[in-house]
A = this chain, B = another copy of it.
Amino acid sequence: MDEISVAEFRTDVFDKEYITLNGTREGIVVGGRHLLDRLPRAFEGVDQIGVIGWGPQASAQSQNLRDSLAGSDVRVVVGLRAGSASAGAARAAGFTEQDGTLGEMFEVIAGSDMVLLLISDAAQAALHEQIFAALRTGATLGLSHGFLLGYLDQQGARFPEGIDVIAVCPKGMGASVRALYLQGAETNGAGINASFAVEQDVTGRATDRALGWSVGLGAPYTFRTTLRSEYLSDLTGERAILLGGVHGIVESLYRRFREQGMGETDAYRHSVDCVTGPISRTVSRDGLIGLYQRLDDAGREIFARAYAAAYPVGLELTHEIYDEVRSGNEIRSVILAGERLARFPMGRIDRASMWRAGEVARRDRDDEQLPLDPFTAGVFCGVMMGQIDTFIEYGHPYSEIANESVIEATDSLNPYMHARGVAFMVDNCSTTARLGSRKWAPRFDYLLTQTAYPSADDTNTQWDTTLVKAFEQHPIHEVLRECARLRPSVDIFVA
């Protein structure tokens, strides 16, 4: 088993609080608009923050930071490849060459005291040597997840000495980081939680710069992790319940309901709509145990049977994915796939029959009337708990477990799938996530179909009731309650 060891931290600018999650104290920083006037102190010594790239994270983060720093002396500048097709979009969002807030990426890197490197993982792997060479001595390099560390580890390479290396990793897709930040203007504290890591600290200011960055993005609360813990849980989570897992779950459930005789729209309501609507909303507000408690006795019986059948699949596949990630296989796969993309572009995933049915079904949907199908709830919770228990086994901090397994799903990804379908959700994530989701969704589908559903339907065999008992008593429920306390409950807004 790998040792995940997350250190204490000290901040001179923000107020550190402690939360106790399953008996473990974690230091966190609670965010909010009222803290924005502390950002200049957090960014002391930083005149310019360069945000490199214009993918979903880069566009959201550059705008949030600019808005949070409005009126201060810290300038947010976007850096793009020369001739980038994204220049128009950046200009439309208010970053322009005229006022010096849009420029060529290597010039922006060289001109910035803090560089947030939010280009694709493949580009980070390909360009990291040039980027490292362009950074000023004493600059702070910021990442939004740990992929580059995993890649460097494999290559036997390292970050350059003489710079800070930090990470702030929002636990949600870029679109949510922006949308919930805008909602935060009305409801102070609405936003996407983030983890932060300090990998190198030569300035002595790395922690406060990271926390300033996170507060500036609008994170309701920010918890400590390490780059390694982050990429292990992040790459695993998006391949499992967050993207790949949920996609495989709903495909297999839709097919199951169709085989049981439901019409297309009904089957869609009981699978996709149920997961992305009532299940996600309930879990966001009341946790996993709240979902269970909403069911009547007959519903709980069905939930328990489905849960007992699906949990082993979630546990097995999350372990497999975790092994593939920590062995470096998954990172190598992403790099290899990137090299094939010009010849074999990623295909569409929403031309298959369920998603065509979903397009129709979403049109005349009444959210209040959506069914809370107990079988679907049991399968979804079973796979999710398989991921949670895998992360616990590997020693990840509870904040990371809760955010990377539950809150990112209910507060960011699933609402997008609810509004726009799976393709929109999956394909607005990073290329690394898109590839991972395409790779693992079918595995979840097959294992559920081959082993979980036949077990659940086998009425001759008593199912394993210890699993649902373990679920009822699981420490994750208290952890989710504590996390829920740290962010206001808002109806997630999808633009």
**Which residues of A are in contact with B by a Cβ distance under 8 Å?**
255, 259, 315-316, 319-320, 323-324, 327, 329, 332-333, 336-337, 340, 343-344, 347-349, 351-353, 438-439, 441-443, 445-447, 449-451, 453-454
Whether A454 contacts B351 in the complex (CB less than 8 A), given A332-B327, A443-B439, comes out as yes
Are B450 and A352 in contact, CB atoms less than 8 angstroms apart?
yes
Are B352 and A340 in contact, CB atoms less than 8 angstroms apart?
no
Are B319 and A340 in contact, CB atoms less than 8 angstroms apart?
yes
B residues in contact with A337, CB < 8 Å:
320, 323
Other than the known A316-B340, A316-B344, what 15 A-B pairs have Cβ atoms closer than 8 Å? A259-B353, A319-B343, A320-B337, A320-B340, A323-B340, A324-B333, A324-B336, A327-B332, A348-B451, A349-B446, A351-B454, A352-B449, A352-B450, A441-B446, A442-B443
Whether A450 contacts B320 in the complex (CB less than 8 A), given A329-B333, A332-B327, A442-B443, comes out as no
B residues in contact with A446, CB < 8 Å:
349, 438, 441-442, 445
B residues in contact with A259, CB < 8 Å:
353
B residues in contact with A315, CB < 8 Å:
344
| Closest 3 pairs between A and B when the two form their complex, measured CB to CB | A442-B442, A351-B454, A347-B451
**Least CB distance, A373 to chain B, in whole angstroms:** 20
**Least CB distance, A353 to chain B, in whole angstroms:** 6
Q: List 29 A-B contacts (CB under 8 A).
A: A255-B255, A259-B353, A316-B344, A319-B340, A319-B343, A320-B337, A320-B340, A323-B336, A324-B333, A327-B332, A329-B329, A329-B332, A329-B333, A347-B450, A347-B451, A348-B450, A349-B450, A351-B450, A351-B451, A351-B454, A352-B450, A352-B454, A438-B446, A439-B443, A441-B446, A442-B442, A442-B443, A442-B445, A445-B446
B residues in contact with A336, CB < 8 Å:
320, 323-324, 327
Are A347 and B447 in contact, CB atoms less than 8 angstroms apart?
yes
For A327, the closest partner residue in chain B by CB is B332
**Least CB distance, A309 to chain B, in whole angstroms:** 11
B residues in contact with A347, CB < 8 Å:
447, 450-451
B residues in contact with A255, CB < 8 Å:
255
B residues in contact with A333, CB < 8 Å:
324, 329
B residues in contact with A449, CB < 8 Å:
352
For A313, the closest partner residue in chain B by CB is B347
**Least CB distance, A422 to chain B, in whole angstroms:** 11
**Least CB distance, A256 to chain B, in whole angstroms:** 9
For A317, the closest partner residue in chain B by CB is B344
**In the complex, A351→B324 CA distance in Å?**
27
**In the complex, A333→B348 CA distance in Å?**
27
For A324, the closest partner residue in chain B by CB is B333
**Least CB distance, A291 to chain B, in whole angstroms:** 27
For A441, the closest partner residue in chain B by CB is B446
**In the complex, A316→B342 CA distance in Å?**
12
**In the complex, A349→B451 CA distance in Å?**
7
**In the complex, A351→B456 CA distance in Å?**
12
**In the complex, A413→B429 CA distance in Å?**
40
